[in-house]
Structure 1
């Protein structure tokens, strides 16, 4: 049985050029944005709603970067330095979200979100490894780091509400 990472490696290997990679990345970022927006509408807890709205906004930025490259064949003039994941740190009001108050559904959504972010991180990381052009390599490395930051944000939410930390 192949791992998710092995699937990603194979998927990247089978891409027919940067244009196909960009198209696939845009498609996935749109799916992620829609997932987060849909989950935000279902949340009663304002901190979860805020998290999913934030992540949807991040995916919109990524779509913009990727579409800019697709349309202009130029990488966006953005810093390749990714701010610390602490730029959006969850502030849990313990009186609102206590250990045990998170529902299995909430946990499932967080885990699905983490899985998506990890797959995106792997995809961009694998693209960066296979690209010779240094500017394109840095672009994909930057996107990979953004996805890693999102994964860590979601993980910190999960840790706060379950007192459990994934080993990453």
Structure 2
């Protein structure tokens, strides 16, 4: 299996993982964020498939701004999000998967010879870092929802 095929499989696995998480969460805001993450992974797969065919570009996404708006809406409703430890552990597992993706893309960018491939892999690594960061904020939000948003306006979900 070459780098592209392996990366495509990672993105497929990530998409399935996020869709499964989304299907098992009752809160519509969290479901929306997890679905956005799944859609992002599907988009990465399409980019990698295009590369395999000879051309591709990784588009910049506005994921963090969309997620921040959803968090704000969830906070404004005043409803507390109750998740059990197992669900929070799933977000931590997703975060670990994102870290593996970051490491994979960064390592492969260091060994490819073509500048275009190197730039593409680094762009994918940056996108995965956004996912990692978002998951970190999800974990914080569900662990301490009462104080999260006040701090979020100043130090969370910043643009990369």
Question: Smaller-chain TM-score range?
Answer: 0.7 to 0.9
- The answer on whether the counterparts of 2:58 and 2:124 sit within 8 Å (CA) in structure 1 is no
Shift of 1:113: 0.9
Shift of 1:162: 1.2
Unaligned runs of 5+ in 2: 149-160
Instruction: Pick the aligned partner of 2:34 from 52, 68, 92.
Output: 52
The answer to whether 1:61 aligns with 2:43 is: yes
Q: TM-score, normalised by structure 2?
A: 0.79
Structure 1 segments, 4+ long, off by >4 Å, are: 81-84
Shift of 1:85: 3.4
The answer to whether 1:97 aligns with 2:80 is: yes
1:44-100 alpha-carbon deviations (Å, 9 max, x no partner): 111221121011100110000000111x222x1345x665833532415242235xx
Partner of 2:11: 29
> Cα RMSD over matched residues?
2.2
Residue pairs, 1:1-168, within 5 angstroms: 20-70=2-52, 72-74=53-55, 76-79=56-59, 85-89=64-68, 90-92=70-72, 93-94=74-75, 95-98=78-81, 101-163=82-144
Partner of 2:153: none
Unaligned runs of 5+ in 1: 1-18
Q: Number of residue pairs matched?
A: 142
1:104-150 alpha-carbon deviations (Å, 9 max, x no partner): 12201110110111100110011111112110000000000000000
Q: TM-score, normalised by structure 1?
A: 0.76
- Match of 2:2, SS state, is helix
